[in-house]
Chain A
Amino acid sequence: MSLNKETVNIQDSLALFCRSGIEPLIPLSRPENLHHYRRLVFNVVLNTMTQAFPIAHKAFGSRNFTDLVHDFFLNHDSQTPQVWKLPFEFYEYVVAKEHQEKFAMPFLNNLLLFEWTEIEVHTMPNVIPHSFQNEGNMFTDILIVNQEYKILQLNYPVHLYAPDKAKDLLGNYYLIALRNPENFNVKFLNLSILHVYFTEQLSIEEQTINEIINKASEIFNLEKNLLITNITPFLNDMFLQKLILGYKKH
């Protein structure tokens, strides 16, 4: 590198000033303007987080949320060159710092994950599905699945209730964030553990529902008939929600 150590230090100290507010000891032609850089840089990060996490922003209140973003921006070295992906780093930071204990917000990790997942699924690259037909047998034909989704497991139902209420409902919540392939809207749907299993099985390899029922029957120790009764309305709903797009062409 052709850069002198001194120049590197100057550049680093300006960048660190933007994060910490600690004034750098470097010659400046207009030192009175330095604070604008810190302001401009921080505003980009704060706006990004406020837009990404509107529910968390509200739960914290504007002032506390700003403090949290300050803390993140100072102590976390942002790695993505694409600022719209930075909210994921924020989520990881808050989890790693155990802020949900510190702020006595036991739902915080779940809430940030839920809000980030909406962005993630809304923006995820398009996955072109295999060609499919609309007619077939739900149990014996291969089903073609829309891959533009993500399954979440939460301990607080932040997808159903405001944080105030969700915090009292500790449990096991499974949900799918699913992007509609026609209008690109993201919908969150509740799933049972059995539905999670079927959804994952449909995605990982080509197999019929009957084949999945055989496996599920052993794993969950359930009668096949009971499984059929349980899974049929779910599958019908997933056709409607466009998780299942149709039947593989013969």
Chain B
Amino acid sequence: MNSTVNIGLGFRRDLANDFLTQEVINPGFIEFAPENWIDMGGYWGNILKEVEQKYPVTCHGLSLSLGSPEELDWKFIKKLKIFLDEHNVEIYSEHLSYTKAANAHLYDLLPIPFREDAIHHVAERIKQVQDFLERKIAIENVSYYTAVAAEIDEATFINEIVKEANCNLLLDVNNVYVNAFNHNYNAKEFLNKMPLDKVAYIHMAGHERVAPDLIIDTHGEAIIDPVYDLFDWTIQKMEPVPILLERDFNFPEMKELQNELNSLEKICKKHWEVQHESK
């Protein structure tokens, strides 16, 4: 990824053919979860090879469980390192959450208690993984539907971890919107507290409002205008980074997905290309 504006799209098997033909959708890069592809041969392993020849690649992990009380899974991390190197992965990111506890994987993202001891614990684990992988991880602010035994605020929690671990931040703007809505805070005030100079990567997505006072982060809908607005407002404060559109299911016509990519590109160009030309 060399240009100032890079807009990617999550690679999904249901859309493999559309990614390969590049007839309607043609993102600047693709993202996928290494967990879904490590050890995968045969038909799908082959498709991945083909698609990788057409696009630069980022990876977004699911099971590292950085916030977990469990030991890190070094057997898996060793496989991960080989995979990231073999697949020329430009950015590797993971969630600021946990998926394993009480000796079992849960395969979804549970919220870490916003507490002082958790900050040091998570930061230490991020450092260990970064040292082993010999690359920085971008950790993502996740959506959560209830805070759990919180003793400090979310913004402090994220800031302290990024600082202590010396890692990057994957800023999911939709998640900021979802959390601000669900927990009744001001999204812009929250973003002002984020270490925007540490952001290496941005996620954008759609969500679903399931109750008057609850949004679930589904990645199954188009991005809504208020999230575009928040994105527009945020990126003016930042240096250019790659932007990814997450869409996991309930796929629309490919033309509509490409339109979303185009909308994101337009906003980025407005702020980042002009800014760079004047520099």
Contact = CB atoms under 8 A, between A and B. Distances in A.
Interface stretch (A2-10, A153-161, A217-225): A2-10
B121 to A, nearest CB: 4
B146 A18 contact: no
B117 A4 contact: yes
For this complex, into which size category does the number of interface residues on chain B fall? 35 or more
Interface in A28-53: 28-31, 33-34, 36-37, 40-41, 44-45, 48
Nearest to B39: A125
Contacts of A134: none
A15 B117 contact: no
For this complex, into which size category does the number of interface residues on chain A fall? 35 or more
Given A12-B69, A14-B101, A123-B44, A28 B63 contact: no
A80 B105 contact: yes
A115 interface: no
Nearest to B73: A81
A33 B111 CA distance: 12
B120 A2 contact: yes
A44 B108 contact: yes
Contacts of B67: 11
B38 interface: yes
B42 A7 contact: no
A105 B239 CA distance: 62
Interface in B116-145: 117-118, 120-121, 124, 145
Interface stretch (B147-155, B170-178, B197-205): B147-155
A82 B146 contact: no
A77 B104 CA distance: 4
Contacts of A16: 101-102
Given A36-B216, A123-B41, A78 B104 contact: yes
B101 A126 contact: no
B252 interface: no
B117 A2 contact: yes
A163 B54 CA distance: 44
A84 B37 CA distance: 10
Contact of A184 (B46, B69, B118): B46
A131 interface: no
16 contacts: A4-B117, A10-B149, A11-B69, A11-B101, A18-B108, A29-B146, A29-B183, A33-B145, A77-B102, A78-B105, A81-B35, A81-B73, A83-B62, A84-B36, A184-B42, A184-B46
Given A27-B149, A34-B145, A83-B105, 12 more contacts: A2-B117, A2-B121, A7-B149, A10-B113, A11-B110, A14-B111, A18-B108, A33-B214, A78-B106, A82-B36, A124-B41, A125-B40
- The 10 A-B pairs at the shortest CB distance, nearest first, are namely A15-B101, A81-B63, A184-B43, A33-B145, A77-B104, A30-B146, A29-B147, A125-B41, A126-B41, A2-B120
